[in-house]
Amino acid sequence: MASTVKIVSTKLIAVLAIGARMVKVGYVEETDVWRRIHLSPETQQRFIETTGKYLSSLKAETDMVALQETPHGSDSDDRTHFTAVKINGQGTVVATRHFNFKS
């Protein structure tokens, strides 16, 4: 299911590769509802590392994975996770996904 929030801008923080395939990693900088002022370098690095573990499971249409929500748990998923959006080459959000990690 794609996110209902409209992504206005993202910020690129890394490019990861698996074989010949490359995927951009970044974070949502602004939506039609909010604007992120700052994302700590530690959180950025943890998101890059976590995304790398999921790289092989991303569909071929995924051009960028962008962090939308910093680490949290929720009623539907109490594991600590990032909420990320998968964006295709045309800049369209195609899915929202949880990337779990151990804190």
Q: What is the pLDDT of residues 57-67, one digit of tens each?
A: 999 999 999 99
DSSP states along 53-84: HHGGGS-TT--EEEEEEEEE--SS--S-EEEE
Angstrom distance (rounded) from CA 98 to CA 38: 21
Kindly compute the dihedral angle of the four CA atoms of residues 88, 67, 4, 73, in this order, to the nearest 10 degrees. Answer: 140
Dig out the tokens for 93 from the structure: 């959000």
- Break the chain into its structural domains and give their ranges: 7-100
Confidence of residue 20 (pLDDT cuts 50, 70, 90): confident
Q: What is the pLDDT of residues 37-54, one digit of tens each?
A: 999 999 999 999 999 999
In the three-class reduction of DSSP (H, G, I as helix; E, B as strand; rest coil), residue 32 is classed as coil
